[in-house]
Structure 1
Amino acid sequence: MDILLIGGLWLDGSAWDDVVPELTRLGHRPVPLTLPGQGDGAVSATLDDQLAAVLAAVDAAPGKPLVVGHSAASTLAWMAGDARPEKVAKVALIGGFPAADGRAYADFFAIEGGVMPFPGWGPFEGPDAADLDQPARDRFAAAAVSVPEAVARGVVRLTDERRFDIPVVVVCPEFTPAQAKEWIAAGEIPELARATRVEYVDLDSGHWPMATRPGELARVLSEAANA
């Protein structure tokens, strides 16, 4: 199966470099995506531009792909399912949840000069970054790609209720499946509250398992694709 891999904020397709070989070995065709505004100098890139790039990858897949979104890009993966409910086999969300219709995509940190730069490690101290040693943190910060303002502040649009019937796998790295279920039950994640088929997978890592647990993450995604 084609497995489309969408990294979260500040990540391009290279974030999946350690996951891709294992997915290939397990018999899949991983497709790491580098989207408009991720290192190509297109600071004017919009959320619609990024969604269009994801949909182009969905449409290019020979069958129905598994669309994987990490962190904020969980919303982008969900938007792809909304736009192509008949084409997406399953959505996997790693360390993130889809924003609701009408909400900003990822307006979390300060905008400087038309982009949202990586804010440093302060906001991520604790479970998010506990398994990243200093060299890993330095590599991440050096490679981080500032997010165009029109992506971060882009408005999420969801229009097709068939999205709720797409199977969803919630991969829980720095939080537990029990916590995720509590948040959904409390109404904090309305999109998943309406999803009809949701599975949860615990993954003992921080927020960036593609960097710290790539083999385990690949196996989780392979099992999701095969189920």
Structure 2
Amino acid sequence: MATQIVLVPGFWLGAWAWDDVAPLLVDRGYAVAPLTLPGLESSDSDRGEVTLDDHADSIAATLDRTAERRVLVVHSGAALPGTMVIDRHPDLVDHVVFVDTAPVRDGFAMDPEMARPEYPLEAAWEGEMAEGSMRDLDDEQLEAFRRRAVPQPGRTVSGQVHLSNPARVAVPGTVVCTAFPSADYRSYAEQGAGFLAGLLDHTGLTYVDLPTGHWPMWSRPAELADIIDQAARNVQLR
């Protein structure tokens, strides 16, 4: 079977987030699986009890055991369950692509103090805009984002990542650096940025610059597809 590429979006998003990227990869012969994580199917979904384990289990179940190779692409907050997957199943992921995000360390939580059952996009919108997260998105894209966004399950924001398998740090990966230059990602990790700390542990990472905002699947879809394609073609069978 062809190489499988599993596309996992970050907070508030479903498989639809990859609509501009997935066809470009299908055209290159890949078996592409854009994923909607549990609790993010619609605004009416039951999400109060959805955990990081549920998200990790969903990703692992999507990985095709019959594929010749498997590439896991995780964006933003999907790095948490994505890291859990390569910790639990390092043999199922031949390459992992981190899109403006990074592998995390054991015990990490996005916001351990958050107690609400869900985290809506509107609660973060002003901060995202002020910090430049929405760079290069036009008004139509911004409107579609707000209209289609689904509240993030609260327990996936407050929950801790639990890791135990050192084999995860040897899984080859590509870090797509959008928010700031690649040289800064590791520098910030060395300065104590918790969300980037895992970069200091992983031994097989390649850094690629793609200057844009936090949502390159919308602002630079062709360039992002090229990077994912390159990562997939460089996968070494193990």
Matches within 5 A, 1:1-227: 1-40=3-42, 41-43=45-47, 44-60=49-65, 62-104=67-109, 106-107=110-111, 112=116, 114-118=117-121, 119-124=123-128, 125-188=130-193, 189-227=196-234
**Superposed structure 1 runs of 4+ greater than 6 Å apart:** none
Letter of the 2:16 partner, please give it. S
| Conserved? CA contact 1:45–1:151, under 8 Å | yes
Q: Secondary structure at the match of 2:54?
A: helix
Superposition RMSD in Å: 1.8
Larger CA deviation: 83-92 vs 126-135: 126-135
Question: In the aligned structure 2, how far is the partner of 1:59 from the partner of 1:91?
Answer: 15
Q: Secondary structure at the match of 1:103?
A: coil
**Could you list the runs of 5+ residues in structure 1 that have no partner in the other structure?**
none
Letter of the 2:176 partner, please give it. V
Q: Secondary structure at the match of 2:91?
A: coil
| Conserved? CA contact 1:68–1:93, under 8 Å | yes
Larger CA deviation: 9-18 vs 67-76: 67-76
Residues 85 and 111 of structure 1, relative CA distance in 2, 3 Å threshold: same
| Conserved? CA contact 1:7–1:13, under 8 Å | yes
Q: Secondary structure at the match of 2:92?
A: coil
Question: In the aligned structure 1, how far is the partner of 2:32 from the partner of 2:64?
Answer: 15
| Conserved? CA contact 2:118–2:151, under 8 Å | yes
Identity %: 34
Residues 111 and 211 of structure 1, relative CA distance in 2, 3 Å threshold: farther
Letter of the 1:117 partner, please give it. P
Residues 120 and 150 of structure 1, relative CA distance in 2, 3 Å threshold: closer
How many residues end up aligned between the 2 structures? Answer: 225
| Conserved? CA contact 2:190–2:200, under 8 Å | yes
